[in-house]
Amino acid sequence: MASVLVAHATKYGSTQEVADAVAARLCERGDETYVRPASDNDSLDGYDAGVVGGALYCFRRIREGRRFLSRHRKALSEMPVAVFGMGPIEDTDEQFVDARKHLDKSLDKNKSLSPVAVTVFGGALDPTRLRFPDANPAMKNVPPSDLRDWKAIETWADSLPEALGLIVD
């Protein structure tokens, strides 16, 4: 049985819900999964693999996600890691391609990290819940959306044991 950390960097909770879903799926397979906020300072000792999820805000991963990768640079370079980013709030190819581009660009800055899998999931937005500085007039007028595709999230989670090398014959 492998011990897998699922870390999430979220502002409004949609990324955490995806992290929970990924963890639940890994757990069903029999792995020990631990869902933790990326802001946690605890050491990563004892984990066999990691999944790191972070929301994209204004074309970059949120600060907690960037700090997490930098704070745990060494530990993460020594274990298999998968990464997911969130997430377009308009269902257009352009938004998904852009989000992936920004995620890749941001990950490229962590030279020691070589994720075994990277993906982008659609995001969720409830404009009535936005706080400063997100609650600007432009964002407040965006319609509510939830583009999280739970089937695609489960399928990705199911691909992780092999990608993370957790399958033992």
Q: Name the site residues for ligand FMN (rule: CB under 6 A).
A: 10-15, 55-59, 86-89, 99, 123-125, 130, 134, 139
Nearest-approach distance from CB 46 to ligand FMN, in angstroms: 26
Task: Tell me the residue nearest to ligand FMN as measured from the CB.
Answer: 123
Nearest Cα to 82, choosing from 145, 168, 165? 165
DSSP string, 77-125: HTS-EEEEEE--SS--HHHHHHHHHHHHHHHHT-TT---SEEEEE--EE
> Nearer Cβ to ligand FMN, position 55 or 82?
55
Nearest-approach distance from CB 11 to ligand FMN, in angstroms: 3
> Nearer Cβ to ligand FMN, position 28 or 91?
91
> Nearer Cβ to ligand FMN, position 46 or 140?
140
> Nearer Cβ to ligand FMN, position 15 or 31?
15
Dist CA 88 CA 124 (whole Å): 8
Dist CA 35 CA 51 (whole Å): 9
